[in-house]
Each structure stands twice: as C-alpha cells, then as structure tokens.
C-alpha cells in the first residue's frame, strides 16, 4: 500500500484520539475548528500587504488600554465564530473582549469546553511584516452542565488546561499544540490548504544562548533582572560571549525561536507595571503548558510555577519567565540574590 508521507492536522488529531477510547472526539473536533480559523486568519494576514484597508488601527482601545488593530478585530471575530460553530464550546475569554463571550445557542449551552484566546498577539508588528501569532488555551467547563458559562469557569489554574497551542504567522505558518502528551508542530501547506505534521514530541534545549527581553525598559526593571541582563552581556570568556539578545515584540515568535534553539523570554514586573504586561489566561498559561511539555520551565521569576497560579480575573497580568529550564532557574537565582526592589545604582 502506498504510504503517504503527509499527515494533516485532522489525521493526527484523529489518530491521537484513537489512543483515548473513551474520548467522544469533541476535543478533536474543537482543534479542527481552531485549525480552520487559523487558515482564514492566515489568508487575511498574507493579503494584508495587498489589501491595505485591513492594516492599521480601528481607533478603538481594548480593555488592556492598547490600540486595537483592524486585524485584531478580524481575528477575534473569526476565532469566536469558529469556536461557536464547533457546538462544543460554551464561552470564550478573549484579549479583545472586556467580558467573557457567552454562547447562548442550545448546542453551545451543552458545550463541555471553554477557551481563552489572544486572537492576534503582537499585532502592532503586522504593518511592518514581522511575525505575529494566535494563542489558545482549552479547559473543561466546571459549572453546571447545560447552564450558561460563568466567570468562574475561566478562573481555573493553568494546570487544568486540557490543550493549548499557538499559530505563528511567519516565514511559514505553523500550528503548535499540546494535549498534555508532548508538544506537536504542524506547518501550513498552502498548495493543499492543510496544516501538515512537521515535528512530534518537540523538546527544547535545557540551556541556550538567546535571551529575549525589552531592554528599553531596563531602568524600570527590578535589580535581580538588571543583574541577569548584565550577566548575559558580560559573561564573555575571551570574547566568545555565549549570549545574544533577540526580541521582536511578538511573544509567539520570540517563544517559538527559543523553543527550537534554546533560550529564555522574560517580561518581568517593572516600576510602572507591578505585574508585568503579559496576561495569565491567554498568553502565559498556554505558552507555559507548551514549554513544560517540551521540557522547559515557566515561572513568575519568584519560583512560582505559572501553571499553578490561581487566576483572580480574566485579564490578570503576571510577570513571565519562560524557556530553557536552566536559564529560568538562573533568572530565579538572580532574583533570589538581588531581590526585586528598584535601585538606580545598578
Ligand atoms: P513591549 C504584544 O503586545 C505582547 O503582548 C507580546 O507579544 C510581546 O512579547 C510584548 O507584548 C511586547 O511588549 O512592552 O516589549 O512592546
């Protein structure tokens, strides 16, 4: 029999599901709907350079106080429509919506899952053709079956995620996800309009040379972070400095590069924002799940595992240190030794 080398997202999901005989196929169906939404968003982003009407901002601010880009709005609409069409999602928490989006149709009211999404992360990069991403995090609904989803359903710790992933719209478009059994990567093949399996059981190096942080905020960083940055810059045995700074202002792209090559991404608290910038539900938790499944670590810099943090609100921010395990531990050593105060002598 001719063995086809290409395995599509749907085929791999169905294969994975067959490993769980009691699975009703709902999660599989949900991941397929996410894949469809990603294809639609990918198509729009790829045309953005030609259809400039989709570029730029729509003059609205989201709850984060960030100017919403037109493509943020588009991506949000596409993902929410696809998730509602799945008939197994009862609600969504999105970076682009102040409150949770509750699905009231009969099919969705019986849905077993809730989703947290950042529909288009790093979207300010779109107009300059830098990679952006979509991030998703999937939980089981915990409130009464058949009743409307509640805020409490979304305030579960990240260790309750049943699946998580991201799409990176870069030189190629990739979908990377985990259901708790390793991190798996797919590459979009436009010729057939499918995400095709590229890597199963991805592993990230336990250490690396890349550190990703916005050094423009240096004076606002805690002392421990300032000391770690200097350690990276000065740790230079005979000018063979092992570290290099790579930061493009797009979490998904910075994380994806570090996942493959080894490295660390840091968005700490600052003197301006005492919880940092990144949101726990739809940025830190899904990325942390993927990192741990690939052998990496994700904490808040103070030894607290991101996936164990109990959310208090749907747009809660947390300090975020994620990537190669040894590098995360090194940051925590500096934070432990020098503390997280602010001192302009360093
Ligand atoms: P700054 C994008 O808005 C984002 O949430 C991440 O994708 C990115 O890493 C970070 O913020 C960039 O923030 O403050 O360095 O511009």
pLDDT in tens, 64-74: 677 677 888 89
- Please name which of 116, 117, 121, 129 lies closest in space to residue 168, comparing C-alpha atoms: 121
d(CA 331, CA 329): 5
pLDDT for position 3? 58
Distance 250 CA to ligand 1 centre (A): 6
Rg from Cα positions in the chain: 20
Measure 277 CA to ligand 1 centroid, in angstroms.
7
Query: pLDDT below 70 — which residues of the chain?
Result: 1-4, 19-24, 48-56, 64, 67, 235-241, 344-346
Domain boundaries, the chain: 9-202, 210-338
Q: Which amino acid residue places its CA nearest to atom 16 of ligand 1?
A: 249
In this structure, are residues 105 and 257 in contact, taking their beta carbons and an 8 Å threshold? Answer: no
Q: Which atom of ligand 1 is nearest to the CA of 124?
A: 3
Q: Which of 62, 63, 122 to mutate to test the pocket of ligand 1 (most atoms within 8 A of CB)?
A: 122
d(CA 290, CA 97): 24
Question: What's the per-residue H, E or C state across the chain?
Answer: CCCCCCCEHHHHHHHHHHCCCCCCCHHHHHHHHHHHHHHHHHHHHHHCCCCHHHCCEEEEECCCCCEEEHHHHHHHHHHHHHHHHCCCEEEEEECCCCCCEECCCHHHHCCCEEEEEEEEECHHHHHHCCCEEEEEEEEECCCCCCCCCCHHHHCCCHHHCCEEEEEEECCCEEEEEECCCCEEEEEEECCCCEEEEEECCCCCCCCCCEEECCHHHHHHCCHHHHHHHHHHHHCCHHHCCCCEECCCCCHHHHHHHHHHHCEEEEECCCCCCCCCCCEHHHHHHHHHHHHHHCCCEEECCCCCEHHHCCCCCCCCECCEEEECHHHHHHHHHHHHHHCCCCCCCC
CA of 25 to the centre of ligand 1 (A): 35
Question: Domain 210-338 maps to which CATH number in 3.40.190.80, 3.30.70.920, 3.10.20.340, 3.30.300.30?
Answer: 3.40.190.80
Q: Which residues contact 3 (CB under 8 A, 6 or more apart)?
A: none
- Whole-number pLDDT of residue 20: 65
Pocket test for ligand 1, best of 277, 279, 315, 316 (most atoms within 8 A of CB): 277
CA of 109 to the centre of ligand 1 (A): 34
Residue nearest to atom 13 of ligand 1 (CA): 249
Q: CA-to-CA distance for 15 and 23, rounded, in angstroms?
A: 12
For residues 163 and 138, is the Cβ–Cβ distance under 8 A? yes
Q: Tell me, what's the pLDDT at 28?
A: 83
For residues 161 and 154, what is the distance between their CA atoms, to the nearest angstrom? 11
- Say how far apart CA 103 and CA 111 lie, in whole Å: 9
Query: How confident is the model at residue 90, as a pLDDT?
Result: 94
122 CA closest ligand 1 atom index: 2
- Homologous superfamily assigned to 9-202: Fructose-1,6-Bisphosphatase, subunit A, domain 1 (3.30.540.10)
- Gap from CA of 320 to ligand 1 centroid (Å): 12
The pLDDT assigned to 36 comes to 94
Residues 156, 145, 178, 214, CA torsion sign: negative
Q: Which residue is closest in CA terms to ligand 1's atom 3? A: 122
Choosing from 249, 257, 271, 284 the residue with most ligand 1 atoms within 8 A of its CB, the one to mutate for a pocket test is 249
* pLDDT value, residue 27: 83
Q: For ligand 1, pick from 267, 268, 322 the residue to mutate: most ligand atoms within 8 Å of CB.
A: 267
- pLDDT of 17 reads 79
CA of 155 to the centre of ligand 1 (A): 23
Any residues with Cβ below 6 Å from ligand 1, and which?
121-122, 214, 249-251, 254, 277-278
> Ligand 1, closest atom to CA 252?
7
190-206 per-residue burial string, b: 16 or more CB within 10 A, e: under 16? eeeebbbbbeeebebbe
Q: Which residues contact 135 (CB under 8 A, 6 or more apart)?
A: 117, 118, 121, 164, 165, 166, 251, 252, 282, 283, 286, 287
């Amino acid at each position: 029999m001719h063995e086809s080398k290409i395995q599509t997202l749907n085929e791999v999901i169905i294969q994975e599901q067959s490993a769980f005989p009691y699975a009703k196929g709902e999660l599989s169906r949900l991941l397929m709907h996410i894949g469809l939404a990603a294809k639609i968003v990918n198509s729009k982003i790829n045309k953005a350079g030609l259809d400039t009407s989709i570029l730029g901002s729509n003059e609205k601010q989201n709850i984060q106080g960030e100017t919403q880009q037109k493509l943020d709005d588009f991506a949000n609409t596409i993902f929410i429509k696809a998730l509602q069409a799945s008939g197994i999602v009862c609600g969504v928490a999105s970076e682009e919506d102040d409150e949770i989006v509750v699905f009231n149709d009969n099919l969705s009211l019986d849905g077993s899952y809730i989703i947290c999404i950042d529909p288009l992360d790093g979207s300010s990069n779109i107009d300059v053709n830098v990679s952006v991403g979509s991030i998703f995090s999937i939980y089981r609904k915990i409130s009464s079956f058949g009743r409307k989803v509640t805020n409490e359903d979304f305030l579960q710790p990240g260790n309750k995620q049943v699946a998580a992933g991201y799409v990176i719209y870069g030189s190629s478009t990739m979908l990377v996800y985990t259901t708790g059994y390793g991190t798996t990567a797919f590459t979009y093949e436009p010729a057939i309009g499918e995400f095709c399996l590229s890597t199963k059981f991805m592993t990230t190096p336990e250490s690396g040379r890349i550190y990703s942080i916005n050094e423009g905020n240096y004076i606002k960083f805690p002392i421990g972070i300032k000391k770690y940055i200097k350690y990276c810059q000065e740790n230079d045995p005979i000018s063979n400095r092992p570290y290099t700074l790579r930061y493009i202002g797009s979490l998904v792209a910075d994380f994806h590069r570090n996942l493959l090559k080894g490295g660390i991404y840091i968005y700490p608290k600052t003197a301006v924002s005492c919880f940092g910038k990144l949101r726990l539900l739809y940025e830190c938790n899904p990325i942390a799940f993927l990192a741990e499944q690939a052998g990496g670590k994700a904490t808040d810099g103070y030894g607290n595992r991101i996936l164990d943090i109990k959310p208090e609100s749907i747009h809660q921010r947390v300090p975020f240190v994620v990537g190669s395990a040894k590098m995360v531990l090194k940051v925590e050593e500096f934070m432990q030794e020098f503390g997280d105060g602010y001192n302009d002598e360093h």
